[in-house]
Structures are given as C-alpha cells and as structure tokens.
Amino acid sequence: MKVPHAHQEVMLQVAGLDLELEALSSRLAELQTGAHLDALRTNLFAASSRMLEQQTQLENLQQELRKLEADIELVDKRIDLDKQRLSSTSSSKDAEGITSELRSLATRKSNLEDQELEIMEQVEQVSALVATESASRTSLSVELAEAEAALAGDITKLASKISIVETERAAKFAILSEEAANLFTKKAGRGIPAAALKGRDCDACRIGLTSSAYEDVVATPADEIATCPNCQAILVR
C-alpha cells in the first residue's frame, strides 16, 4: 500500500498518542478508585472506633460516679437523721443502737468515698484517652480531607490532559486517507499499529530483524508501507 512518508510519520505519532492515552487512562482509573487513601480511611475508622469505645467507657464511669454520689448523699442524710435522734433520745438502749448504726454508716460512707475516688481517677484517665483519640481523629480527618481534595485536583488535571491528547490524536488521525486510517485501525486491534525502525530493531516488539528481513524493509520505497515480520506493525523508517 502506498502511503506518503509524511503520513507514515503521522501514523507513528498517532500510535504514540494512543500509548500515551492508554497510560493516562490507566492512571485515571487507578486514581478514581482512591485506593491509595485506604490506609488513611482505615486509620480514621480505627481512631473513631477507639474513641467511641472510650466514650462509652467514660459514660459508664460517670454514671457509676453519679450513683456513688447519690449513695453518699443518702448516707449523709441518714447520719444527720441519726444524730438528731441521738441528741433527742433519753433512752440509753436507743442511744446505744443509734451509735452502733452511726458507726456502720460511717464505715459505709468511707467505703463509698474510697470507691468514689477510684472512679474519679478512672474518669480522669479515660477522659485523657478520649481527648487524645479525639485529637488523633481530628488530625486524620483533616489529613484525609486534604488528600481527597488533592486527589480530586489530580483527577481533574488528568482528565483535562486526556481530553487534550484525544483532541490532538483526532486531528492527526484526520490527516490520514481512509485507506491508511483503516489499515492503522485494523493493526491497532492486534497490537501496536506503527513503530519506528531503530537500527535493525522494531520499536514495537523490540525484536531485531533478520538480515534478509531488514534488507527487504530498507529496500521498500519510502512511500510504501513496510511491516515488521514479527509483530506486523507498520515500520516507519
């Protein structure tokens, strides 16, 4: 098939643009999955889970603390009441019973206050953990948001680049005659349609031509199509 050498050069350029588009499209598909952000999302989810667990623990401790405070308040009221009873009784037997109950109430109050102090210490410790995880979660959220914004920007830039290359490809492909365009498309369906002959190597399959094959290609007129005997790509000399 006769094709002006200039148009063969166009075929080579279009083939190069097709390879570029393939690489760009592959990169775009990869970016659109957002897979490289999975580690950040996993870390954020883990931090959120830990914070939720610690918040639940903190709420339970605070509830237990409120119950202890209520129990201590009840004991204090009972102590006040018994002291009033003790001050107003004239019965030694009643006084002895009230005094015994006051000792029991004092022991009860002391035990409750010990528990209260222990729970208060736990509340302080868990509150610190919640604050730490909250700060970590906030930091990870910001980092993820920034990464997602950067990703969106990269996708936009890449899509724009693909559009530019597609436009350039279409303009160059339109230069070819219908016959040359059909040949190019047919070969593109099987592999790289056109490649440069570099020395004795086909730049498509990277295989060196035999001496006889090389001589045949070199002997082919510049305005005629020569093909690689190995991959059948159009060889542009």
**Per-residue confidence in pLDDT tens, the chain, 237 aa:** 899 999 999 999 999 999 999 999 999 999 999 998 999 999 999 999 999 999 999 999 999 999 999 999 999 999 999 999 988 888 888 899 999 999 999 999 999 999 999 999 999 999 999 999 999 999 999 999 999 999 999 999 999 999 999 999 999 999 999 999 999 999 999 999 999 999 999 999 999 999 999 999 999 999 999 999 999 999 999
b/e string for 132-147 if b means 16 or more Cβ within 10 A? ebeebbeebeeeeeee
Element (H, E) at 198: strand 194-198
pTM over the 0.85 mark: no
b/e string for 215-230 if b means 16 or more Cβ within 10 A? eebeeeeeeebbbbbe
The first and second tokens of residue 237, run together, are: 């000399």
